[in-house]
Amino acid sequence: MDDQIIKTLLIEESAEETLRKSEERFRALIERSYDGVLLLTSTGEITYASPSTHSILGHQGDELIIQNAFALMHPEDSPKIIPKFQLLLTRPEETLTAEFRYQHKNGYWRWLECTGTNLLENQSVQAVVVNYRDITERKNNEEALMQAHNKLEQRVQERTAELVAANSSLREQITERKRAEAELQRLSHRLVEVQEHERRSIARELHDEVGQILTGLKMTLELTRRLPPETANSGFEQAHQQVNDLLTHVRNLSLELRPAMLDDLGLLPTLFWHFDRYTSQTEIQVNFKQAGIEGRYSPELETAIYRIVQEALTNVARHSQVNEVTVLLWANPETISVQIEDQGVGFKKESVMAAGHSNGLTGMRERAALLGGKLMIESSPGSGTCVTAELSLLKPTTQQTT
């Protein structure tokens, strides 16, 4: 053989050998790689699947060959990935990456991260080379993180809403408290006014009535002292009468101020006593009915009810022009109520209340309010008057009694 020919053959043989070695090296790299490698045609048919396809997707490499790569892609992901693949086809030698779900042989979806390189025009490859790896765990972690974040976000929002609600309810409570404090302040001013009013009327009573009688008594005694003993008797008689009047006045005044009976015997006996006395003084009959009144109530409640009845009956005597009045008193476990009703001349409630100088009606209303109760007044000219007070038996009371 010609030397030249032998030389050429040797060169060809060593070139083939180099190529074979290089091919073996790349094959070994691909086949031992943990990541998967696919070769695709321009229509997405799989022409090669590396052995790691088995560990990643459960398929033996050749099971995937001649399948379309998009057939096992999640239907929600393929509409995004196919256009990307088509874009890649227009860009030789370029690389694009994408993440999508792909079906494992066991039927479950795995998340894959892929890098596709368009080597269709490369003579030694003539395929789209896809390198892929399973990122399901990372995706799951991301998803769990996202859920935890959302949960946290939701809790923050809920807590914020709770705080906002608590804040606004606190504000409401503060406003309500301020309102209650202002009302209490107004009532205590009013209480002082009422006490002043009562003191004035006691002072007037002492001055006009008791003082008058005492002055008369003093004069009688002075006159009697100057009389001769045989005629002094009539003077003593007169003085005796004046002392009797004085006793009656002082007793009445004391009863008006506060009947001791109310503390000693309670509400019902005191009311009965008051009705008798009222009828004998005014000739107005009291029709009284009660239901559910048993035992004793707190001194504040008994005083309030007694004072309300006393003032309402005084009003009937002073204003209504009737000769009978009905008083109802009833209690249940929560409230005690009293109603005083007459069929007399009545009055125009709005104008009387607006006039602002009705101590009696206002006083009744304030007494009820101080005990957490309420007072209703119904009246109109010509059709009588009905006053109803309802007081709570549940609310602890600490008010003064007068």
Ligand X SMILES: Nc1ncnc2c1ncn2[C@@H]1O[C@H](COP(=O)(O)OP(=O)(O)OP(=O)(O)O)[C@@H](O)[C@H]1O
Number of DSSP helices (H) and strands (E) in the chain, helices first: 12, 10
By beta-carbon proximity to ligand X, the closer residue of 79 and 356 is: 356
Which of 250, 360, 362, 378 is close enough to bind Mg ion by CB under 5 A?
A: 360
CB of 203 to Mg ion, least distance (A): 19
Site stretch for Mg ion (CB under 5 A), options 120-128, 154-162, 169-177, 315-323: 315-323
- From CA 272, how far away is CA 270, in angstroms rounded? 5
Strand order in the sheet with 127-134: 46-49, 36-40, 127-134, 109-119, 95-103
Name which of Mg ion, ligand X, none residue 344 binds, using a CB cut-off of 5 to 8 Å depending on partner kind: ligand X
E strands along 255-392, which residues?
Answer: 285-291, 324-331, 335-342, 374-379, 385-392
Site track 293-332 with ligand X (rule: CB under 6 A), x = hit: ----------------------xx-xxx------------
Give the containing element (helix H, strand E) for 32.
Answer: helix 3-32
By beta-carbon proximity to ligand X, the closer residue of 52 and 379 is: 379
Site stretch for Mg ion (CB under 5 A), options 15-23, 281-289, 356-364, 386-394: 356-364
Q: Quick check: 285 binds ligand X (CB under 6 A)?
A: no
| Contact assessment for residue 59 and residue 66, using Cβ atoms and an 8 Å cutoff | no
Total residue length of the chain: 402
- From CA 203, how far away is CA 215, in angstroms rounded? 16
Which of 61, 116, 344, 373 is close enough to bind ligand X by CB under 6 A?
A: 344
User: How many residues make contact with Mg ion (CB under 5 A)?
Assistant: 2
- Give every CB contact of residue 169 below 8 A, 6+ residues apart in sequence: none
Which of 58, 266, 299, 360 is close enough to bind ligand X by CB under 6 A?
A: 360
Name which of Mg ion, ligand X, none residue 84 binds, using a CB cut-off of 5 to 8 Å depending on partner kind: none
Which of 131, 220, 310, 315 is close enough to bind Mg ion by CB under 5 A?
A: 315
Name which of ligand X, Mg ion, none residue 319 binds, using a CB cut-off of 5 to 8 Å depending on partner kind: ligand X
**What count of other Cβ atoms lies within 10 Å of the Cβ of residue 147?**
10
- From CA 65, how far away is CA 61, in angstroms rounded? 7
Q: Which residues contribute to the site for ligand X (CB under 6 A)? A: 315-316, 318-320, 342, 344-347, 352, 358-361, 385
The contact set with Mg ion (CB under 5 A) reads: 315, 360
